[in-house]
Structure formats: C-alpha cells, structure tokens
Structure 1
Amino acid sequence: MVLLNIGLANKIKGELPPLARWRCRPFRVTGGSPLFLKRRCDVLLSGDRNDYADDFTNTRLHELPVYIKYRFSETDFHMNYHFHRGYELFFLHEGWGAYINDDYVHPFQGNDLILIEGRQIHRASPTIGRRFTRTVINFLPECLIPETKQLVHDLFGKELENENRHLLLSEEKHARIYALLHQIHAEYTERHTGFQHMIGILLTRLLQDIHRIRFSDRPPPNKDTAEENPTIHDIIDYLSSHYAENILLVELAKRFYITPYYLCRLFKKATGDTIGRFITYARIRQAKQELVFTDMSISEICTRVGYGSFSYFGLVFKQYEGMTPRQYRQSYKRSINR
C-alpha cells in the first residue's frame, strides 16, 4: 500500500466547496513509476449540483460547439469547482499543482493532458506564485466529423477509470500536439469561411493522436516498422540536440543513410509535422526558457537558438506566441512581481 503526501490532501481538503464532505483513502499501486501515484479521494457532494454549473462555458458552447482558451497564463490562478456541457481537453504547458477530477487528484508533472467528460465536476489547483500556462478545449460532439464517435467513446466513456484520464506527453508528442493546438486556435480566432468544418477536421486529428497515445495500439512489428522506428527516434534525438545549427536536409539524410524524400516522408508520417516546423518549435521553446530564466540579451538568445536575423527571430516568435520576445519577458516579470 502506498500513501501520497498527506499535506497535499489536507491542502485540497481545505479548498473543497462548502457543500462537499471529504474522505480520502489510499489505493493499491500495481506498478509503474512513483511519479504516477495518485491519491484516491472521494468527494461526496450534497445540496444542489447546479451550484457548480459553469454558465460561462455553457454559454460559449451554445454560441459555437467548440470553445478554446489557448496558452492562457497566470501566476495567481484560482479555479472553483465546476462542470459544464460537452467534453474538455486540458493541456498543461508549464506549472505545478494538481487537477481534481471527480474523485481523483492528478498531480501535475509537466506536459500533462487531462480528459474530462461532460458534466463531470473538476478544477485545477495550481501552485500559487508559479506561472501556470494551459490550453483548454471544450467541445460538443456535433463539431466533430461523424466517424469520430468511437474515438470519443473510448477516450471519454464513463467506464474509463479516472486514473486513466491523466496522460503525460513526451517532448516529441507534446511538440506534435502543440502544433495541432496552434492550428486549431488560428482557425478559431481568424474564423475564415469554413472555419468550423476545419476545426472539426483538426480536432478529429488531435483526438486520433490522443487515442494512440492513450491506448498504444501498436501492431506487431513488421519489416518496415522495425526499420523505421529506430531511425525516426534517432532523427528526433539529433534534431532536439542540434536545432540551433544550420541543418541542411541533404546532409541530414546522408547522416541516416536515406534519401531526402524518404526522410521527409518518414518524419511527416511519424510526427505529423515537417522537419522545419519541428526545428522551429524546438528553437522557440528554448528561447522562452532563456527569456524567463536568464538575463541574456534578446540578441544573444536569438543567436544562441540558431537565428542569424534578429528581425526574423522576432517575427517567428510572435507568430508562435502572439507577442514579441521582449513582451514575453516583460509579461513574465510582471506576473512574478504582482
């Protein structure tokens, strides 16, 4: 029998809504890393359940069958217990704390994804004083293409245990999903002709990726997969370590003894993204770390992450983050000094 830190349980206990009674008990861990331990917590709600209805989200979903909050950051963030219509995908990009989902506490560990079914009472409980950045997608089934019915059932069905609704994304998977979130957000905000249909397509693709991560439905290895899997992992490892260099496609292909065409096809098939976008994402992610945690000048950071042009670096950074590198650094400092 394994027990989690009682301090966390007591902290969350003190934050429960007035109409709730709290009872915690340990549960048996049958395997896996200690990082995955969760404390089973039963929240027994009394009174009127409608006290927890999230009218704001319900209104947004009435206007449009999808509602998105993209890379929303706060330092002193507090969320009340609530529920709403439709399903929710909660992506944590940075921050610490826990997520309470009906009767489970999911400690955040970095690059987390929480799956919330409709009308399920939940809340995030981030560590106060730490930057908390997340993307939240609320959606109704009607915004998806018809073929996704089984996907939604597999990911959000009531028979799925709450402990299995918390996924930890590797850097590779987080990069791929982040690119999809960026595309969905662009469609949602720009709202060009046919944007709802395009959001449905992109959201379906996102759910397919999550389904693969969740269930790891890998077929028995054949000749092709046995050759491809080690190669693609080696390529990703190389790009993750050398993103600041001027990487030429021809030279990269030679390094792994494949043709440039096959390299691009293999990488796209495995990650859903191009090599160029993967490198850009790695550069911007490192630049954000340098902006927040170092005193280096922005021009130094620009060079350090692989950009020869300061103006182009600023343009790409703003395209990904919605603000310039200077604004990003200033916004972080303001949030810390509140």
Structure 2
Amino acid sequence: MELNFYEASKFDISRERKYNTSMPTRHYHNGYEIFYLVSGDISYFIEDQSYQVVGGALLIINMNEIHKLVNSSKESFERITLLFQEEFLEDMFPYNDSFHVLSSFASGKHFMPLNGQEQSFIEKLFDKMIAEYNKQPPGYEYYLKTLLFELLIFIYRKSSTLPAADHTGSNPIHKKIFDIVDYLNQNYHETQTIQGISSKFFISPSYFCKTFRENTGFTFTEYLNNVRIKEARRLLTGSTLKIADIAERVGFESMTHFGRIFKDITSLSPLKYRQTYKAELD
C-alpha cells in the first residue's frame, strides 16, 4: 500500500468544503496536525485506529503518525486543517517539566467530540487564525502563536479529561448510524424526533440512542442542535433574513427555544451574535 511523506510547513491553516473527496494515499509528516470537522461525516484512519468523525469533532495527529481520510458517504463535508512544526512555538514554551503543551499529541487520545460551547470557542479561534494567516497584518505571526498556544492549552485540558482507554471514535463502524447522520445533515430543517428517526430507519429508540452516542460522541439532541445552530450562525452573518425566519429555516418551531439553545451554544443571543460577527466580517 502506497505511503507518502510530506514536509510540514512551519505553520499552515486552511478551511475548505470538500465534495466526494478522500485522501489518495496514507501519509505522514514531520509536523503536528489538528483536524476539525465543521460539518458532514467522514472516516479517519490514524495508525491502527479508525474513527467515524461527525461535525463538531476534533482530531489531533502526532508527528510521523500515518493517517488517511476516507469520505465513504460521498457527501460534502467542511473541514479545518492546521499543521505546524514545534519550532513555530519555540519561544512560547514554558520551562516547566510538569507541563508540556504538546504532550497531548503523544497520549493516543486522537478523537475529541466537542460540545456546542466548545465548538463555538474553537471555531472563533480558527476564524481569527485564518484571518491573520491570509491577511498578514503587522504582528500577525506573534498573534498566530498566541492563538495557537491558546488552542493547544484547550486541547491539553480537554485531553486530560478523557480516560486513557477512551476510544469513543474508534468503535466498529455502524453503517446505519452514519446513514442517520447523513440524513440529519440534509434534513435538519424538518421536525426530527428519536421516535421518528427510529421508525424511519427500523431501529429501536433505546438502541438508537445508545449506538448514536457510542459512534458519534454526541447524543441525538446535541448533534441535531449543533447542526441547526451552525447553519443559523452562517445565516445570521451571511444574510439579511429576519431572526425569526432563520429560526424557522433551521428547524426550530419556537423562537424562545431557538434563542435559548443558541445562547447555550454560543453564549450570545442571536441578535448579539449578528451584531458582533457581521460587523467583524464587514
């Protein structure tokens, strides 16, 4: 089986929506990689582990670990990939033997499902990094280092909460669950219930809830809310639609419920979010 080595950049970050795309070969590189799936679902292979990854999950890949992405569903997905070498952060490492911010990469805990607030937090960090990297204003490299260090501390702390034997993402692939994920990604704007999904896919509600959590790292409600709020955030900053229309468009029947879930995930009301981030984009 073909295996390729790539020389890692000192620092590189990109955000792309991909269609019908898989990595052509297994590969490895002499840098650290942080992979975040914004939306969609894919399979990811790291060394001898396979992970089913859905939107809102983070993967970390150590130097020289062999990995490959496979898009079995052939549906579109959006991802952020950050690749860096240790030398990029050399002048920021604290001289403390009890703490090394890159130690998470050697822990074997590659897979990290993130709750809504965590997703919102790191997506804001990624957005700032991408803007700095692309525009390169004065002092951008120092700010990139600061943002990356903040992200690495988040990963270090998140990793420390995961049990050593936790391989949530590497459970045997349950095809039906990922058929359901694909269905939710396409139909989040419609009314969706555990009972309705269970009936549609011929699976008992209790087994569905158990296997959905095991395979994705999220409960059904968490995943559905994350997908809906992610689309609402896009519409709030990228359109002039009224907030009530956005709530209805992404699948919420009640403005009150939409506002509560949105604030739970983003820490801002929909109006405040629009005012804050639309201004930044403008």
Residue 31 of structure 2 contacts residue 64 of structure 2 at CA under 8 Å; is this kept in 1? Answer: yes
Pairing 1:85–2:30 present:
yes
Distance 2:112 2:95 in 1: 20
Residue 75 of structure 1 contacts residue 131 of structure 1 at CA under 8 Å; is this kept in 2? Answer: yes
Match of 1:187 among 123, 132, 144: 132
- Cα deviation for residue 126 of structure 1 reads 1.9
Show the counterpart of 2:6.
54
Show the counterpart of 1:76.
20
Q: Which amino acid aligns with 2:14?
A: K
Pairing 1:304–2:256 present:
no
Pairing 1:210–2:184 present:
no
- Cα deviation for residue 199 of structure 1 reads 0.7
Number of aligned pairs?
189
- Cα deviation for residue 197 of structure 1 reads 1.2
TM-score normalised according to structure 1 size: 0.49
Residue 93 of structure 2 contacts residue 100 of structure 2 at CA under 8 Å; is this kept in 1? Answer: no
TM-aligned CA distance change 1:214 to 1:111, over 3 Å: same
Q: Highest relative contact order (Cα 8 Å, sep 6+), 1 or 2? A: 2
Residue 95 of structure 1 contacts residue 126 of structure 1 at CA under 8 Å; is this kept in 2? Answer: no
TM-aligned CA distance change 1:89 to 1:211, over 3 Å: same
Q: Which amino acid aligns with 1:119?
A: N
Q: Deviations over 1:118-156 (max 9, x none)?
A: 111101112343121110100111222122884344211
Match of 1:146 among 93, 106, 111: 93
Q: Deviations over 1:258-296 (max 9, x none)?
A: xxxxxxxxxxxxxxxxxxxxxxxx976415489xxxxxx
Q: Deviations over 1:225-268 (max 9, x none)?
A: xxxxxxxxxxxxxxxxxxxxxxxxxxxxxxxxxxxxxxxxxxxx
- Cα deviation for residue 95 of structure 1 reads 1.3
Which residues of 2 match residues 247-326 of structure 1 at below 5 A? Answer: 285-286=231-232, 288=234, 299=241, 303-305=245-247, 316=277
Distance 2:279 2:21 in 1: 25
Q: In terms of Rg, which structure is larger?
A: 1
Q: Which amino acid aligns with 1:52?
A: N
Distance 2:85 2:147 in 1: 14
C-alpha RMSD of matched pairs (Å):
3.4
TM-aligned CA distance change 1:301 to 1:79, over 3 Å: farther
Residue 284 of structure 1 contacts residue 317 of structure 1 at CA under 8 Å; is this kept in 2? Answer: no
**Residues 141-150 or 97-106, more deviating:** 141-150
Distance 1:124 1:203 in 2: 23
Residue 75 of structure 1 contacts residue 128 of structure 1 at CA under 8 Å; is this kept in 2? Answer: no
Paired-residue identity, %: 21
Show the counterpart of 1:176.
121
> What is the SS of the residue equivalent to 2:145?
helix
Q: Which amino acid aligns with 1:77?
A: T
Which residues of 2 match residues 10-159 of structure 1 at below 5 A? Answer: 18=1, 51-54=3-6, 58=8, 61=9, 65-70=10-15, 72-80=16-24, 81-144=26-89, 145-147=92-94, 150-157=99-106
Residue 287 of structure 1 contacts residue 301 of structure 1 at CA under 8 Å; is this kept in 2? Answer: no
TM-score normalised according to structure 2 size: 0.58
Residue 37 of structure 2 contacts residue 57 of structure 2 at CA under 8 Å; is this kept in 1? Answer: yes
Residue 4 of structure 2 contacts residue 28 of structure 2 at CA under 8 Å; is this kept in 1? Answer: yes
Distance 2:19 2:50 in 1: 21
Show the counterpart of 1:294.
none
Residue 27 of structure 2 contacts residue 68 of structure 2 at CA under 8 Å; is this kept in 1? Answer: yes
TM-aligned CA distance change 1:315 to 1:194, over 3 Å: closer
